[in-house]
Structure 1
Amino acid sequence: MNEIGYRIKCIRKENKQNQSQFAKSIGISQGNLSEIEKGNSNPSAETLISIRTQYNVNLNWLLTGVDSNDGDTYDDYYEEKLIEVFRNLNDYDKREIIEIALLKARLRTTD
């Protein structure tokens, strides 16, 4: 099994899905997923993007095994955690969080 196939298999197992479920969620056949996991073929760019989108996986980690936060740098733990959580929210919740943050910032400047 090649490394990228192994990482994809780990993502699938972490999400408690069988090959058929996982393959359907990323738009490929179960047979294709099986070949990728075994290391007999490589995933297409579209498949990698689908995995990244569907499972919020760091693309650099998926490709290389190294987690670089997709090039992001953070000032501290709180900023990193906020971004991590924010990325998993739906658009409505994201707008709400932005409004809360803006309100907090305005209140700080009036103190």
Structure 2
Amino acid sequence: MTSNERIKLFRNSLNLSQQKFADSLNISRGYLNDIERGRQEPSFNFIKCLNEVYNVNLNWLLKGHGEMYEEIQTPKKTQAIIEMIESLNDSQKQKIYAVIEDEKRFNEMEKRVNQLNQLIGTMKTA
């Protein structure tokens, strides 16, 4: 099995369409399609991004050795945040949770506004 085939296998294991997978890696669906079909070799930046975003085991991806995922190690900053949150009382934790939920909703609204702006832009040029 080639690394190109393993990339497709990995994407399918996540139950992601090519478009959603490409979006998550900030690449075009066409580029991903070319990689998966073996028409193009994945770039170093693509492989690096795949590892950073999904924690895929590079030894498995490139050579087919080992497990699909690397052992997850929590980054120091993330661990420090977890420890800070664990030291809070329930009321404080609830406030942080609410802020995070608000941020998620804001990001989703911002994404929709950008999509609408793109649609309006295409309508103006038509």
Alignment TM class, shorter chain as reference: 0.5 to 0.7
> Is the 1:35–1:41 Cα contact (8 Å) retained in structure 2?
yes
Residue in 1 that maps onto 2:71: 84
Q: Alpha-carbon deviation of 1:90?
A: 7.9
Residue in 2 that maps onto 1:25: 24
Decide which structure has the larger Cα Rg and report it.
2
Gaps of 5+ in 1: 69-82, 98-111
In 1, the alpha carbon distance for the partners of 2:5 and 2:74 equals 24
> Is the 1:56–1:88 Cα contact (8 Å) retained in structure 2?
no
Q: Alpha-carbon deviation of 1:42?
A: 0.4
> Is the 1:27–1:47 Cα contact (8 Å) retained in structure 2?
no
Gaps of 5+ in 2: 84-126
Letter in 2 for 1:24: D
Distance 1:39 1:88, change over 3 A: farther
In 2, the alpha carbon distance for the partners of 1:90 and 1:21 equals 29
Residue in 2 that maps onto 1:78: none
Letter in 1 for 2:71: E
Q: What RMSD, in angstroms, separates the aligned Cα atoms of the two structures?
A: 2.5
Per-residue Cα deviation, 1:32-58 (whole angstroms, up to 9, x for no partner): 100100111001000000111111111
Residue in 1 that maps onto 2:8: 9
Residue in 2 that maps onto 1:107: none
Letter in 2 for 1:63: L
Residue in 2 that maps onto 1:108: none
In 1, the alpha carbon distance for the partners of 2:76 and 2:15 equals 22
Which aligned segments of 4 or more residues in structure 1 are displaced greater than 4 angstroms?
Answer: none
Q: Alpha-carbon deviation of 1:25?
A: 1.0
In 1, the alpha carbon distance for the partners of 2:9 and 2:74 equals 20
TM-score by length of 1: 0.62
How many matched pairs?
80
